[in-house]
Amino acid sequence: MLRKGATTVGAACKKYGLDFIKFAKNRRNMADLQQIANNNERAQSLINSIEAEISGLQQQLVERQKQQLIKENAELAKEVEAALAQLVQLELRNGKKQIPVPGSRGFCTNTATVAPSAKSESAATDKSKSEPAPAAKSSKEPKDKKVKEKKPAAEKPAAAPEAPVDVGRLDLRVGKIVEVGRHPDADSLYLEKIDCGEAAPRTVVSGLVKFVPLEEMQNRLVVVMCNLKPAKMRGVTSEAMVMCASTPDKVEVLSPPAGAVPGDLVHCEGYPRQPDAQLNPKKKIFEACAPDLMTNGDLVACYKNAPLHVPGKGNVVAQTLKNVNVK
């Protein structure tokens, strides 16, 4: 039974010669089109929302990368300053006078001061060519004066005083063990490749087989002393030393603070970091510092009770060994 509205529409279609079935289909198509339009609007709204969210995420990613680059640039600047200070110390110890260059952070050695004297000698030569040759007696006088002028130049500058013997002379850095295995010719030794933030990993030989399992050595962060003189250990040259808290019965590898990365420099409050390029074994600098390198009651590695730390990241610590030597 048709509804009244349907009957009225059917009567109208019949009156005006229209096909009722086609009319109904057209109405249905219009409803479908309207539904499609509504769906399209909802889809477009969803797309706009996703695009806005992606844009926000991209801005966050760019800002994060920017901050990371700023941080890395600051670390590189510190390393450059440290390298410059180290170079200056080495030149001073070798008797080279340091002359600050205006408008520059660098230095030049006393070899640069030769240029003015050379220039004056050249000018004197040109002048002598343009003037007539003097008598034999007068020609001797300039020679005598020239000899007298050279005497002060022969004096050697006083040697710079040597830096104090303390932990600041040790080049302590954060490293990461990227490869480790047993030494081929010694059962008690590990053979490691350690990334110290340099162009290539350092080869290090450590006598830790009896104290630290192999799996605990893999891919871990360590503190490394990098300015020991390289030495052969059972046929393999070791280029650094892994720092540990140590007793006769137990040894623990020191752990850098959370957030440290390979190449971070380890400092000690009160002892400016000015490491030697390479420690001279005859001067026994590390041996002089070793008795004062210890962990404290809070497991923090210290030198004369001053904590070893990575600036802005935290202290270097042992796992369980308190008040024991660090070596």
Residue-wise DSSP of 13-63: HHHTT--HHHHHHHHHHHHHHHHHHHHHHHHHHHHHHHHHHHHHHHHHHHH
Ranges of each domain in the chain: 18-79, 167-326
Q: Quick one: average pLDDT of 186-195?
A: 93
The CATH architecture that domain 167-326 belongs to is: Beta Barrel (2.40)
Q: Quick one: average pLDDT of 166-177?
A: 96
Q: Quick one: average pLDDT of 208-233?
A: 94
**More confident: 25 or 153:** 25
| Whether residue 307 has pLDDT greater than 70 | yes
Cβ neighbors of 68 (< 8 A, separation 6 or more) are none
**More confident: 270 or 21:** 270
The segment with the largest mean pLDDT, out of 89-93, 147-151, 236-240, is 236-240
Q: Strands across the sheet with 221-225, in order?
A: 202-206, 186-195, 172-183, 221-225, 241-242
Torsion, Cα of 48, 50, 53, 55 (10° steps): -70
Angstrom distance (rounded) from CA 37 to CA 32:
9
Cβ neighbors of 10 (< 8 A, separation 6 or more) are 2, 20
Question: Taking all residues of the chain, what is their mean pLDDT, rounded to a whole number?
Answer: 81
Per-residue pLDDT band for 74 (boundaries 50, 70, 90) equals confident
CB 281 within 8 A of CB 261: no
How many other C-beta atoms can be found within 10 angstroms of the C-beta atom of residue 70?
10
Give residue 95's pLDDT.
72
CA atoms within 13 A on the CB side of 117: 10
What token pair was written down for 162? 């040597």
What token pair was written down for 256? 């850098």
Which residue, 282, 173, 169, 283, is CA-closest to 225?
173
Give residue 120's pLDDT.
47
Give residue 310's pLDDT.
96
CB 238 within 8 A of CB 204: yes
Give residue 136's pLDDT.
47
**More confident: 20 or 185:** 185
Give residue 298's pLDDT.
96
Q: Helix 4-15 to helix 20-93 angle, to the nearest 10 degrees?
A: 110
17: left (phi over 0), alpha (psi -120 to 50) or beta: left
CA atoms within 13 A on the CB side of 2: 9
**52, burial (CB in 10 Å: exposed 0-12, middle 13-18, buried 19+):** exposed
**More confident: 313 or 77:** 313
Give residue 24's pLDDT.
67
Give residue 199's pLDDT.
93
pTM for the predicted model, two decimal places: 0.53
**More confident: 156 or 297:** 297
